[in-house]
Amino acid sequence: MKAQSQTKQIAKLIESAKQQFGDFSEVQKQEIFLCIKEAKARGLLRKQPRDRCLSEYVNAANYLLRIHSTEEFGRALTQSLDYIYVYVALVSTNSITAYQ
């Protein structure tokens, strides 16, 4: 039941972001997911500051992890579609809990 509620919240968030920013290609969505999945497997997902040696997606993921329990988190998700898809990848890899 909780997973279904989270899925609906994420779907609404994505739809809202698509209206604001436009849509990504399926290839780009997969690239973000695979990048986050690989970063998790390598232990690169941490609440650390930006690192110029990491990809933009991993830096975005670490930023979201760092601010997850703050008021800034909701605002960050409205910055760009990248952040939305990074967030979805984090939730789907069990790296972060769904935003309420």
Q: Tell me the per-residue pLDDT of 73-84, one tens digit each, with 9 for 90 and over.
A: 888 888 888 898
pLDDT at 39: 96
Split at pLDDT 50, 70, 90, the class of 59 is very high
The total number of structural domains in the chain stands at 1
Q: How far apart are CA 39 and CA 100, in angstroms?
A: 25
Split at pLDDT 50, 70, 90, the class of 2 is low
Residue 60 lies in a domain: yes
pLDDT at 6: 61
Residue 18 lies in a domain: yes
pTM, entire model: 0.83
CA angle, residues 50, 52, 58, in degrees to nearest 5: 60
Domain of residue 7 covers: 2-92
For residue 11, count other CB atoms closer than 10 A to its CB. Answer: 11
Q: How far apart are CA 25 and CA 7, in angstroms?
A: 20
Q: Per residue in 9-40, pLDDT tens? A: 777 777 877 787 777 778 888 999 999 999 99
